[in-house]
Amino acid sequence: MSALTPERRRRIITDAIGIGAATGAYAISFGAISVAAGLSVWQTQALSSLMFTGASQFAMVGVLSAGGGAVTAIAIATLLGSRNALYALHMSTVLRPRGWRRLAAAQLTIDESTGMAIGHQDDRASSRLAFWSTGIAVFVLWNLGTFIGALGADVLGDPARFGLDAAIPAAFLALLWPRLVSRLTRVVAAVAGVAALILTPLLPAGIPVLVAGAIAVMFGLLLTRNADETGPTPAARDDGGPTRS
């Protein structure tokens, strides 16, 4: 078991700040895109402070920019953010937070903080430091980047003039693409995408994405169950090693 030496502590904190800086830079685009979708600077900032999960935030502003209703946008954001609840089940056994720390841990349980904690799970103290330092760094710099992007877009005027309306689906695709690490995930994504395309002319804005998400979940569960019963299929085998989302 590795001890949490001063050198390892510095390395973990340095890595956490680096991750926070990278996500903070990406948050600038979210701030600008959110304003382009019609949200105010402070509404945009509230999303980053309270929702604090990038994929859900991009999905929500994407639905709103397409003319979808608030209920549909919230439903899609919730569906995408539900993975954090699964992370929390694991992290609760590592962190064992009490009192106000439980609320803080719940807010900071995201892809990056969970991935860093798991990457140092050989030592509980290192894992806890990795989680908290990464979560705090990402939270602070994501919100700072959001504010810079939102304020800049607001000062510039109509962001649609700069093509930021087209950046919404592009940014969401950039979040999705690194997660398609196996044939199974690619097949599920393809089925969901086709379903959304077919339903787009038939249903109100935002609903096709929600339906496609539900189809993807059901289709993915079906393929996974079949793979467990019959062994790995060509669609279920990984092409390479896992990557952290």
pLDDT computed for residue 201 by the predictor = 73
pLDDT computed for residue 137 by the predictor = 95
pLDDT computed for residue 159 by the predictor = 53
Alpha-helical regions (H) of the chain: 6-36, 41-46, 54-65, 70-81, 83-95, 100-108, 111-119, 124-156, 164-176, 183-199, 207-230
pLDDT computed for residue 140 by the predictor = 96
Which residues of the chain register pLDDT less than 70?
1-2, 156-181, 203-210, 213, 216-217, 219-221, 223-245
pLDDT computed for residue 63 by the predictor = 81
pLDDT computed for residue 156 by the predictor = 64
User: Token pair 């800086």 is at which residue?
Assistant: 21
pLDDT computed for residue 143 by the predictor = 96
pTM given for the model:
0.69
Contacts 24+ apart (CB under 8 A), 174-182: 175/54, 175/55, 175/58, 176/55, 178/243, 178/245, 179/245, 181/238, 181/239, 181/240, 181/242, 181/243, 182/236, 182/237, 182/238, 182/239
Q: What is the pLDDT of residues 75-133, one digit of tens each?
A: 878 877 777 887 888 888 888 888 889 999 999 998 889 888 888 878 888 999 999 99
